[in-house]
Amino acid sequence: MAGTDSSIPVTLAPSPAIVLCEPQLGENIGSAARAMANFGLWDLRLVRPRDGWPNEKAIAAASRADHVLERVRVFDTLEAAMSDLTLVYATTARSRDMQKEVLGPEDASARMAAHVAGGRGTGLLFGRERWGLLNDEVAMADAIVTLPVEAAFASLNIAQAVLLMSYEWRRTSAEGRALPFGDGLDEAAPRSELVGLFEHLEGVLDQSGFFTTPDKRPSMVNNLRTALTRGRFTAQEIRTLRGVISSIDRRHERPNPNRQKKSDE
């Protein structure tokens, strides 16, 4: 989905930190940064990235999510990465043998939103590409967040997981519930204009002999009106349709080139 408007300034609103534990591939880091930028997150923290930082492959995969990449912080330990956070959730697709509350993404986002609104730091932990988070890392989190994935194929790419959680976070805000475009549709035409379309069409159909069975005419008219009402036509669309109907109605008045050719023969 393309459509970035570079003229709109980026706003760094308070949001959760995204903590990637020992990410291996720069492409995944960059894709995660891009997913964060899509939904208004910007605090990306890396714990011992395998290929170091900065990473050229990450920069390429981020697709100009520069405001996220410029703020990336690298830590030697997970404890250091989450030291300023007072609410931390660990994401995992596997059941852990721990007495920890398990949340879905919607509930987790709502709780994080309330925490952030109080001026407190919150974060989401994401694990390694191959095996996710270690149990001792999950143990340091306040709760587990998991997704309603297919049990037979539950593993998600890091960037995919970040994207899903970032999307749910965005939905907790008024900005996230409002779509960026789509409110420019013209209003539906007044009912009087729609009725005029009905009468015009039905009059032409009467003249053309469309209603061959008089006793079925009422039900056929109702079906036509029901179908046309679903269209929620604008005034301009109704004028266009009536023009089409008039054009079809006048077709017998126009010379038929094929008929004229036969008569000449």
Q: What is the 3-state secondary structure (H, E, C) of the chain?
A: CCCCCCCCCCCCCCCCEEEEECCCCHHHHHHHHHHHHHCCCCCEEEECCCCCCCCHHHHHHCCCCHHHHCCCEEECCHHHHCCCCCEEEEECCCCCCCCCCEECHHHHHHHHHHHHHCCCCEEEEECECCCECCHHHHHCCCEEECCCCCHHHCCCCHHHHHHHHHHHHHHCCHHHHCCCCCCCCCCCCCHHHHHHHHHHHHHHHHHHCCCCCHHHHHHHHHHHHHHHHHCCCCHHHHHHHHHHHHHHHCHHHCCCHHHHHHHHC
CATH label of the domain that carries residue 136 = 3.40.1280.10
Pair 72, 155 in one domain: yes
Q: What confidence tens digit (pLDDT) does each residue in 11-38 have?
A: 889 999 999 999 999 999 999 999 999 9
- Does residue 244 lie within any of the structural domains? yes
Q: Is residue 183 part of a domain?
A: no
Looking at the structure, tell me whether residues 47 and 112 fall in a common domain.
yes
Structural domain harbouring 224: 191-252
Residues 25 and 152 in one domain: yes
Q: Are residues 242 and 144 in the same domain?
A: no
Phi, psi of 125 (to 5 degrees): -100, 135
Look at residues 147, 177, 207 and tell me which one is the last residue of a structural domain: 177
In this predicted structure, the answer to whether residue 223 has a pLDDT above a threshold of 80 is yes
Q: Among the three residues 177, 212, 229, which one is the final residue of a domain in this structure?
A: 177
pLDDT of 178 > 70? The answer is: no
Q: State both tokens at 227.
A: 């179908």
CA distance 126 to 153: 18
CB 116 within 8 A of CB 14: yes
Structural domain includes residue 259: no
CB atoms closer than 10 angstroms to residue 79: 11
Which of 133, 149, 177 marks a domain boundary? 177
Number of domains forming the structure of the chain? 2
Same domain, 199 and 173: no
Q: Of the candidates 147, 158, 136, 137, which has an alpha carbon nearest to the alpha carbon of residue 102? A: 147
pLDDT of residue 1: 46
Please write the tens of the pLDDT for every residue from 57-98: 999 999 889 999 999 999 999 999 999 999 999 999 888 778
Q: Residues 57, 102: one domain? A: yes
Answer yes or no: is 127 within a domain.
yes
Same domain, 172 and 205: no
Residues in the chain: 265
Q: Check which CATH number belongs to the domain holding 241 and give it.
A: 1.10.8
Position with higher pLDDT, 177 vs 235: 235
